[in-house]
């Protein structure tokens, strides 16, 4: 599992890991997760009463993204805004 020192945040909101995966915002309601040569889109919900925006990144049923929600949770501190992974 990557440590925070293995994560790099770019000015455009992109988060990269030295292990080869990346998370980047495409719009206020959409993230793109890339792991190796596979990619998927992740929806971001509207803010809750606590002003936290849910990121819908439950474990993928595909073998292409076995660590999807775990990687998104690791990237949360590097994303601009207040989010929770659901």
Flag whether pLDDT at 44 surpasses 60. Answer: yes
Residue 4: its pLDDT value, please?
Answer: 59
**Total-model pTM:** 0.85
* Region for 51 from its dihedrals, namely left if φ exceeds 0, alpha if ψ lies in -120 to 50, beta otherwise: left
Confidence of residue 1 (pLDDT cuts 50, 70, 90): low
Q: Which residues are bridge partners to 9 per DSSP?
A: 15
d(CA 64, CA 48): 30
Confidence of residue 60 (pLDDT cuts 50, 70, 90): low
Residue boundaries of the structural domains of the chain: 4-85
């Amino acid at each position: 599992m990557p440590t925070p020192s293995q994560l790099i945040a770019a000015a455009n909101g992109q988060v990269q890991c030295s292990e080869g995966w990346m998370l980047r915002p495409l719009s206020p309601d959409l993230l793109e997760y890339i792991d190796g040569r596979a990619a998927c889109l992740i929806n971001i919900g509207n803010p809750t009463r606590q002003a936290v925006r849910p990121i819908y990144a439950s474990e993928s049923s595909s073998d292409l993204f076995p660590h999807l929600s775990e990687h998104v949770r690791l990237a949360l501190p590097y994303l601009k805004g207040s989010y929770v992974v659901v």
